[in-house]
Amino acid sequence: MNINNFYFPVEEKPIALFDDLPWTDKINGYKAIVSPEGESDQVISVVKNSYKLVPNRELIEPFMDQVSNLGVRWKIDPSHSFCQINRMRLQITFPDILLKDEESDIPMSVYLHNSYDQSEGVRLFWGAIRSICTNGMVFGNLLGSAYARHTKCFSFDNFYEEFGYASDNITLVQGKIQALQDRPVEKELMDSLQKALGKRRLEEITQTDQVPDQSQWDLLNDITYYISHDEAKPKRAGLQMKVSKVYAL
């Protein structure tokens, strides 16, 4: 996967009010985040001066260096990666670090997030990708996560330790998968999922307005399949995290 499109230029610019008079009024306390395009700038967002611009390149390059130093096989995974003018998500998958269910290998993944419009801070989530159908899953509670506002610095200095923590907890996630395979879906779970996903979306996934006769793991895979294939990439992370919270993953 070529990630050069993640590296488009971004800059900070002052902002001002213009009128018909021969002067402008500078707006104090705010600035614009823009992407230069030829002789004009494409405005991405207007933010407070306390906002710290963190270009994608300044996140991705040290992140990739840390991943390369782990000494394990990895790949940039396009299945849930995307880059827009205001947001990005980059997925790295480790094909040899596996969870399993009865049908598929589930390689561990890590997701790196950034935004230029304050829609979210810098985020790092551990998760997995189900090989049989490229279902993306987030296991931030069980494997770990990191977050920083754009008013603070974000560092990958502890990434090796975080990777070790996530790898060590693979057995914990594996036990969770087994428990979900053995546990039927209950109304309480459906009520929580309905609040997280919306009634219409959940009925579209399950094809019923009743409690489905299946295991909690099978339902989770139906949901993550829908999110990973029927939702636009920019919407997937938020939905995956909502589902993860319901399932305590």
pLDDT tens digits, one per residue of 98-144: 988 888 899 999 999 999 999 988 999 999 988 878 889 889 888 98
The three-state secondary structure class of 141 is helix
Pairing of strands 135-138, 145-148: unpaired
- Of 171, 161, 184, 180, give the one whose Cα is nearest residue 244: 180
Pairing of strands 122-130, 105-115: antiparallel
Query: Between the CA of residue 118 and those of 82, 87, 104, 113, 239, what are the distances in Å?
Result: 17, 9, 37, 12, 18
- pLDDT category of residue 17 using cuts at 50, 70 and 90: confident
Who's near 83: CB < 8 A, 6+ residues apart? 3, 5, 6, 56, 89
For position 131, what pLDDT does the model report?
A: 83
Global pTM reads 0.89
Who's near 177: CB < 8 A, 6+ residues apart? 99, 100, 101, 106, 217
Bigger pLDDT: 99 vs 152: 99
Largest CA distance in the chain: 73
pLDDT tens digits, one per residue of 3-15: 999 999 999 998 8
For position 39, what pLDDT does the model report?
A: 66
pLDDT tens digits, one per residue of 52-71: 999 999 999 999 999 999 99
For position 96, what pLDDT does the model report?
A: 95
- pLDDT category of residue 2 using cuts at 50, 70 and 90: confident
pLDDT tens digits, one per residue of 171-224: 999 999 999 999 999 999 999 999 999 999 999 999 999 999 999 999 999 999
End-to-end CA distance of the chain: 28
pLDDT tens digits, one per residue of 82-103: 999 999 999 999 999 998 888 8
pLDDT tens digits, one per residue of 21-48: 656 677 889 999 999 876 678 999 999 9
